[in-house]
Amino acid sequence: MQENMITRLFSNDDSLMKEIYKTENGSVVVGAWSRDVGTRECRLKLAIVYPDGEVSPIREYPKRKLADKKSLYDLADMDGIAVKEIEDIYKAVVEKAPQLKIQADSEGKSSLCEVYRALCEYVGQYEEPGRVFVRGDYGNILASYLQTVLDKLELGYTRLELQKNFKAWGLLRTNQGTGHVYSYKINTGSANDWYFSFKMQKGSEAA
């Protein structure tokens, strides 16, 4: 096998990509687990190291889809992988999966705890009269302004995703029976507006 930077790393014992299966033509299927730091979703990452030192792009497989060999059939489209080898590759994956290293990855979505901490910090430090403020034990963001705040903080959540998650964990304050299932009406002195109103973190500077 010719050496390049990637194959030199692969030959190192500390490489995160580990050998899973060697094909009849000498190509090596290597893999590792990917775990999203935000969502905690796990995927199997596979790649092929060829005898000439070239390396294929990573292919990812959701953990839930690894129930049978059919999940890996697309590998047969790759140079150096025969259709008849897919079953053996799958068996090798199942056998070696527990020993594969776990790599931290991210699709850009923060964990819910990170989102909560970020929002508590934001409303506590960046008050905007009528749009962002703390009142009592609750942080409040004008409902129509919430997506702007989320985009600014780059948390990876849409407004609706955040509202549903906060409500599920009892963090969201709402007016019952109004039809506004994710917002709370607050009188700011000049008007009554609907806000994303959530319990502040105990012990935080703002709360």
Residues 9 and 101 reside in one and the same domain: yes
| pLDDT at position 32 over 80 | yes
Residues 78 and 131 reside in one and the same domain: no
Residues 96-131 pLDDT 10s: 999 988 888 877 778 888 899 999 999 999 999 999
pLDDT band for 207, please (50, 70, 90 cuts): very low
Residue 186 CB contacts under 8 Å (≥ 6 apart), including other chains: 135, 140, 192, 193, 194, 195, 197
Token pair for residue 78? 């790759």
Please say which residue of 43, 76, 105 terminates a domain: 105
Please say which residue of 105, 120, 146 terminates a domain: 105
pLDDT band for 141, please (50, 70, 90 cuts): very high
Task: Report if residue 205 sits inside a domain.
Answer: no
Task: Report if residue 204 sits inside a domain.
Answer: no
Residues 96 and 187 reside in one and the same domain: no
Tell me how crowded residue 203 is: count the other CB atoms within 10 A of its CB.
Answer: 6
Task: Report if residue 166 sits inside a domain.
Answer: yes
Residues 68 and 140 reside in one and the same domain: no
Tell me how crowded residue 177 is: count the other CB atoms within 10 A of its CB.
Answer: 7
Helix, strand or coil for residue 181? coil
> H helices within the chain, ranges in order?
5-11, 86-96, 112-125, 146-153, 159-168
Task: Report if residue 71 sits inside a domain.
Answer: yes
174, burial (CB in 10 Å: exposed 0-12, middle 13-18, buried 19+) = middle
Please say which residue of 85, 105, 125 terminates a domain: 105
Of residues 107 and 137, the one with the higher pLDDT is 137
Q: Which CA distances in Å does 7 have to 11, 19, 71, 101? A: 6, 12, 26, 17
Task: Report if residue 70 sits inside a domain.
Answer: yes
Single-letter amino acid code for the residue at 24: E
Helix, strand or coil for residue 87? helix
pLDDT at 23: 92
Residues 116 and 101 reside in one and the same domain: no
Token pair for residue 14? 């500390």
Task: Report if residue 207 sits inside a domain.
Answer: no
Residues 132 and 195 reside in one and the same domain: yes
Single-letter amino acid code for the residue at 139: G
Task: Report if residue 25 sits inside a domain.
Answer: yes
Residues 97 and 130 reside in one and the same domain: no
d(Cα 154, Cα 147) in Å, to the nearest integer?
Answer: 10
Residues 188 and 126 reside in one and the same domain: yes
Task: Report if residue 56 sits inside a domain.
Answer: yes
d(Cα 92, Cα 18) in Å, to the nearest integer?
Answer: 12
Residues 62 and 99 reside in one and the same domain: yes
Residues 96 and 141 reside in one and the same domain: no
Tally of domains within the chain: 2
> What is the span of the domain harbouring residue 125?
112-199
d(Cα 93, Cα 18) in Å, to the nearest integer?
Answer: 11
Per-residue 3-state assignment (H helix, E strand, C coil) for 136-155: CCEEEEEHHHHHHHHHHHCC
pLDDT band for 146, please (50, 70, 90 cuts): very high
Residues 90 and 118 reside in one and the same domain: no
pLDDT at 120: 94
Residues 117 and 69 reside in one and the same domain: no
